[in-house]
Structure 1
Amino acid sequence: MGSKTVIIGAGAAGMACAGFALRRGAEVTLLDKNARPGRKLQITGKGRCNVTNNCSPEELIRHVHTNPRFLYSAFHAFSAQDTMELFESLGVPLKTERGNRVFPVSDQAVDIVKALKRFCGDAQFLQKVRAIEVLQQDGAVCGVRLEGGECLPADAVVIATGGMSYPLTGSDGDGYRLAGQLGHTVVPVRASLVPVITRENWCAELMGLSLRNVTLTLKNAKGKTVFSELGEMLFTHFGVSGPLVLSASAYMDGNPSDYRMEIDLKPGLEEQQLDTRLLRDFEEARNRDFSNALDHLLPRKLIPVAVRLSGIPADTKVHSVTKEQRRSFVRLLKALPVTPAGFRPVDEAIITAGGISVREINPKTMESKRVRGLFFAGEVIDVDGFTGGFNLQIAYATAYLAAQSL
């Protein structure tokens, strides 16, 4: 047999690394605290699993928020097309949807988990076990100590424990602790791709309302647009969530309250076109109250809030609404203001930013610059991407490099 490799963490990065390492002739032991591997994978993409993003390595790099250049070698060594070919070869047909997001045709994340387990083949799975310490001798790893005292000998160790999001799936920061024991710097962890708490109380009134085909724009303290995208979002009891909001949250560096969100409720219409549409609706309901003339324009739940924000008294007859009031209302619909006040806790984030400093990892091999035979893969590293399959691609690509370099 080849070298003894212990991989800590049986998520996307850990299982992918095990499969790649087996094909390099390594003897692989995969450790996981859960009873079943891939728990976090099963809940990604609302249970559908956004496997990767069908784009070029350069485009992948553009969609990485933290330390994108560190992933240059990884994305060129194992591209999105390589990921797609891997899962197709493992018996999972894939499809590409809006924004180049790739999903299994079945829309079942469990199919991806099963495929990765098949990919792990002859790897030894040790489940419901926790690694307490990575052992080293003369500057190189030599084993892993488990909770309970047992030691596993190892020529190479891969830390692929994930971040700190969704701790119930096993991502509770163990990898940072293990790396820290070996002298690695851990960049402070924070939430990324996370729901946003808002100052506006009216968001809670709209709890459960999902908006589709709206444009969310994020502006910084200087009024510069740092994010703008068409998609869907959701109002909650604390503020806003959904794909657009999660993506926007990654662009909020520092204090979230330094930013402003604007929701374009009618992105398909220019202001003048929307004004014409509003005039037409008003003409058909000219004797109704203003608040009763918007049924064709807005979701019912949103109408009372929009009326209140407009400043136009709800009982104003439509024929009495002035041109300036109407134009002001159009501007409101094109830029409904939402003010971030904070983020939800890190355990509600899809991923975590921060982690093992990339300065201490060789970007061409994923090996530690501090300890020989120690490798890292996936979210435990201080890299994070935007929504759309980019974070899972980071997991596979870094796992591939680590496995090639064992």
Structure 2
Amino acid sequence: SSIEVSDGSVRAVKLKNSETIECDSVVIATGGASYPGTGSTGDGYRIVQELGHTVTPLKPSLVPLEAAEKWVRDLQGLTLKNVSVTMYDRKKKKIYTDFGEMLFTHYGVSGPVILSASRHIMQYDYRDVFLSIDLKPALSPETLDARIQRDFEKYSRKQFKNSLDDLLPKKMIPVIVELSQIPADKPVNQITKAERRSLVSLFKGLTLEICGSRPISEAIVIAGGVSTDEIDPATMGSKLIKGLFFAAEIIDVDGYTGGFNLTIAFSTGYVAGLHC
């Protein structure tokens, strides 16, 4: 498909079957290139570029992240609720923090807090950043240490690997045991104070290295699109071509998960519809 323009104004839309529909206004609302199963093919970008509009670089936004650690595969399908996540760069500078729900996958991590965090590490190209997960954000290190001591007293005759059932999801216990470097078969009543404090640190800062993102096709939305400098925000009309309007994801605007991108789509579509 293509849009025919003459003397700086929209004149017609030409379909793939060569049929031509004469018109004096067109709204481009083709979506981006994410979620191709819904029909988003990215054709809209080609159409507007052919008309002389600028399309800023396209990147996945609100996208699941890939982790370097192999142990994430052992947690595939595990959902963590009420956790705190923080993104850091290599210099340990805090990039973003959030609280809520996340999910482990065979490639890394996903879920609401991860999708929102992904938008903040786009400038790092989704690499060389670290995700720290606080498994017990409601507890201070001292309170958590006291809680672990109570559990260790309760399970004093058991091996370490069998003492964490009250603190962690069953699927997560073998991973935490291995990462703690405390022997799995060590009797609980022989665990040292230093080992216990190390376990507390692990609970408060389970860390993964983020090494990439999933592709655009798996992203919730795309960052990038038709430059907003070339669109009149009062009408959503093109500043370059009379009768050409834009709505939703094809525009270089994106927001967090939680309905913000739908609001962008509804709002821009409404304004474009009023003026086309």
Normalised by the length of structure 1, the TM-score is 0.66
Deviation at 1:322, TM superposition (A): 1.0
1:256 maps to what in 2?
Answer: 126
1:391 maps to what in 2?
Answer: 261
Equivalent of residue 382 in structure 1, options 236, 252, 269 = 252
1:22 maps to what in 2?
Answer: none
Deviation at 1:333, TM superposition (A): 0.4
CA offset digits 1:354-384 (Å, max 9, x no partner):
1111111112221111111101010000111
Specify every segment of 5 or more residues in structure 2 that has no aligned partner in the other structure, as ranges: none
* Mapped partners of 1:165, 1:179: distance in 2: 18
Equivalent of residue 169 in structure 1, options 38, 50, 53 = 38
Equivalent of residue 177 in structure 2, options 304, 307, 320 = 307
3-state SS of 2:17 partner: coil
Deviation at 1:399, TM superposition (A): 1.3
2:102 maps to what in 1?
Answer: 233
CA offset digits 1:169-213 (Å, max 9, x no partner):
111101101101100111121111111110000000111111111
1:291 maps to what in 2?
Answer: 161
CA offset digits 1:279-319 (Å, max 9, x no partner):
00000111211111001000111001001111111111111
Normalised by the length of structure 2, the TM-score is 0.97
State the one-letter code of the partner of 2:36: P
Q: Does 1:191 align with 2:60?
A: yes
2:28 maps to what in 1?
Answer: 159
* Mapped partners of 1:367, 1:288: distance in 2: 70
State the one-letter code of the partner of 2:11: C
Q: Does 1:142 align with 2:5?
A: no
Deviation at 1:275, TM superposition (A): 0.5
1:402 maps to what in 2?
Answer: 272
Q: Does 1:347 align with 2:217?
A: yes
Deviation at 1:402, TM superposition (A): 1.4
* Mapped partners of 2:166, 2:174: distance in 1: 14
CA offset digits 1:240-289 (Å, max 9, x no partner):
11111111111112322221101111111111111010000000111211
2:69 maps to what in 1?
Answer: 200
Deviation at 1:401, TM superposition (A): 1.9
* Mapped partners of 2:124, 2:166: distance in 1: 40
* Mapped partners of 1:313, 1:178: distance in 2: 61
Q: Which moved more, 1:350-359 or 1:254-263?
A: 254-263
* Mapped partners of 2:125, 2:223: distance in 1: 15
Deviation at 1:345, TM superposition (A): 1.1
* Mapped partners of 1:201, 1:232: distance in 2: 21
Write the mapping of 1:118-133 to structure 2, written as runs, cut at 5 A: 132-133=1-2
1:329 maps to what in 2?
Answer: 199
State the one-letter code of the partner of 1:396: F
State the one-letter code of the partner of 1:356: V
Deviation at 1:325, TM superposition (A): 1.0
* Mapped partners of 2:164, 2:225: distance in 1: 49
* Mapped partners of 2:33, 2:67: distance in 1: 23
* Mapped partners of 1:404, 1:220: distance in 2: 45
* Mapped partners of 1:258, 1:185: distance in 2: 30
Deviation at 1:153, TM superposition (A): 1.2
* Mapped partners of 1:187, 1:310: distance in 2: 45
Counting aligned pairs with the same residue, the percent is 52
1:109 maps to what in 2?
Answer: none
* Mapped partners of 1:266, 1:354: distance in 2: 36
Specify every segment of 5 or more residues in structure 1 that has no aligned partner in the other structure, as ranges: 1-131
CA offset digits 1:135-192 (Å, max 9, x no partner):
1110000111011011111111110111100112111101101101100111121111
